[in-house]
Amino acid sequence: MNANLNPLLDFSDLPRFDAVKPEHVTPAIDALLAESRAVVARLEAPATEVSWESFVEPLENATEKLGRAWGIVGHLNSVADTPELRAAYNENQPKVTEFRTSLDQNLALFQKYKALRASAAYETLSPARKQIIEHALRDFRLGGAELPDDKKQRFAEIQEQQAALSTKFSENVLDATNDFALFIEDEAELDGLPDDVKHAAQSAAEKDGKTGFKFTLHFPSYFPVLQYAKNRSLRERIYRANATKASELGAKPEWDNTKNIADILKLRAEEARLLGFNNYAEVSLVAKMADTPQQVIAFLEDLAKRARPFAENDLAEVRAFAKKELDLDTLEAWDITYASEKLRQQRYAFSEQEVKQYFPEPKVTAGLFRLVQTLFGVDIKPDSAPTWHKDVKFFRIEKDGQLIGQFYLDLYARAGKRGGAWMDDARGRRRLQQGVQTPVAYLTCNFSGPVVVNGVARPAFFTHDEVNTLFHEFGHGLHHMLTQVDELGVSGISGVEWDAVELPSQFMENFCWEWDVLQHMTAHADTGEPLPRSLFDKMIAAKNFQSGLQTLRQVEFSLFDMHLHYDYDPYSNKSAQDVLAEVRHRVAVLIPPSFNRFQNSFGHIFAGGYAAGYYSYKWAEVLSADAYSAFEEAGAAEGNILSEQTGRKFQREILAMGGSRPALESFKAFRGREPNIDALLRHNGMTA
């Protein structure tokens, strides 16, 4: 099919989002699958010489095209969901999964990679190419290439079923989120809610042709209700709706993810057994820094032990405050965020809402770009490209006048867009005959958008947490875009161990707490004045407010994930809910109500690639905090935390290297030693 007729087949430059339609998906994917299969058939023939140029490159070329086209479809399915697009995605996902599984199981290709690994030519290859070959051999083994034919067929069926179930899991969460609407007519019921939250709710109601205020389960809409609404029953209604979405207690039985969870866990356990592993956690860890499930559990339990006294203190404080100041004798789940915000305001004499008035989107993005330009010696400039929504912006990154990367910025929550924040790659860096193909990234968040108040347009304003989120995702983007590796399989984030991939993202969050950074990215909504130093000092004083509780919450999710995939029998009478209850009994100080179905929307592990890997956030935080302490040391020595010398070293040893060497080697090259946990505990205020 002609690329002019089908934009998904046009690889000449950036995706043509303005031209892609659901009816393009099937013809494009069919054509690319046929092309890829033809290449595979040619390469698996005995006569093919085994060299990098004659074997690895042609295979990479064919699969990259398929990956890019399917990546566009998958991205649109996440950010611009329609019934037609969803149908096209679901029709083609099994075909793509089947092809990828057949590739992973192809014994002829596996033997050729082994022959290349054993050849004299292997020793002449660059470290990056050697790493790609090692990863390929590992992935063939994990993909079932060595299984007998009958087991290969079952393995392939498992992959298809898992992919379909994960997609259904995501769709159920999205549908349940989009379906919920709470309309409030009487503004008196919204006492305590900030004006900008009410304006957004009013605007949402107007878009539906209704009066009053509309609240949804999109985070920027429901969370401020939990945080600020004095109306306790309103808080309970929205908490309960969010805590039961996509469950048997939710709005529609067809969106219940309970059976999807059970089926996914059974399939993962079966996959592990077929491959000769004891459990799925062992499979997951093969490609990670951590060696065994026991090592991860020990790491998490040690962190829980260190955090617990701080968490117990956090909870005792908020309970005592709620009783004395708010007349709340018992603190229910829907009271905690509200009481905590009131306690924070009393203790530190400011509110998150007060801070939010200083962070307009244009100043925040300009400040972020300024930081990146200072640390890494690059320029970020507006650029133009077709996009999937009018709110999406596009930028380019240059170094010494040369284009090195580009990115889409899609910041606002809307219907048809899945929740959360993420970075994904649209295209990876690689060297081609005509020059270097530069990387392109998608950076996606779900913040409140600009609003029109009394006929006056106001830009989006961000909470400080949202500023953190933006910096986090941009860190992933930098990892992808500032790579200097020319081999696709290990450039940018490709080939990086999953439990190290959060290092650059969490590293970037630290700068959101630096005066030298924040003072350049603030302007008050009404006065235009920058953030006062006195308010910044209060923010710093409150930085580790309830960090014990937050740490235990992340440990709880991580242990739940690891135990589900390590020592839980999915064929037993015990449910995932029972496993979560056991973990909470062991490590949590705050137990949610019995109706809470958190796991039914835990997309990270059931639809997002973090299965037996959610611990990565805490594991990588050890690395990121330790890496950031190099900037603190430079700041103490040079009087400037934005040390260009340290920034260039971080870029050279971590960002530029991508997956071309083990993450621990990159960390040691930057830090000069092994990582330790001290900086993490210090940054979280959890030292004696």
Catalytic residues: 473
Contact 624, 281 (CB under 8 A): no
- For residue 407, list its beta bridge partners: 395, 441
Using alpha carbons, select from 436, 406, 388, 427 the residue that is nearest to residue 65.
427
Cα–Cα–Cα angle for 292, 111, 131, rounded to 5 degrees: 50
Burial class (CB in 10 A: 0-12, 13-18, 19+), 316: exposed
Report whether 66 contacts 33 (CB < 8 A): yes
Helix (H, G, I), strand (E, B) or coil at 445: strand
Tokens read off for 57: 């490159």
Rounded to 5 degrees, φ, ψ at 435 are 130, -165
Helix (H) or strand (E) holding 451: strand 451-453
Output DSSP code: residue 617: H
The answer to whether 658 touches 493, Cβ cutoff 8 Å, is yes
In Å, how far are 74, 154, 496, 656 from 424, measured between CA atoms? 10, 30, 14, 17
Q: Which residues pair with 398 in a beta bridge?
A: 379, 403
Q: DSSP letter string over 116-144?
A: HHHSGGGGGS-HHHHHHHHHHHHHHHHTT
Q: Which residue, among 54, 155, 56, has the nearest Cα to 430 in the 3D structure?
A: 56
d(CA 202, CA 204): 5
Burial class (CB in 10 A: 0-12, 13-18, 19+), 12: exposed
CB 219 within 8 A of CB 328: no
Tokens found for residue 309: 């006294």
Phi-psi domain of 658 (left: phi exceeds 0; alpha: psi -120 through 50; beta: other)? left
Q: Where are the alpha helices (H) located in 396-530, listed in sequence order?
A: 464-481, 503-509, 515-518
Buried b (16+ CB within 10 A) or exposed e, 257-278: bbebbebbbebbbbbbebbebe
E-state strands within 238-382: 379-382
Distance of CA 204 to the CA centre of its chain: 27
Alpha-carbon gap, residue 151 to 139, rounded angstroms: 17
Helix orientation angle between 57-79 and 22-44, rounded to the nearest 10 degrees = 160
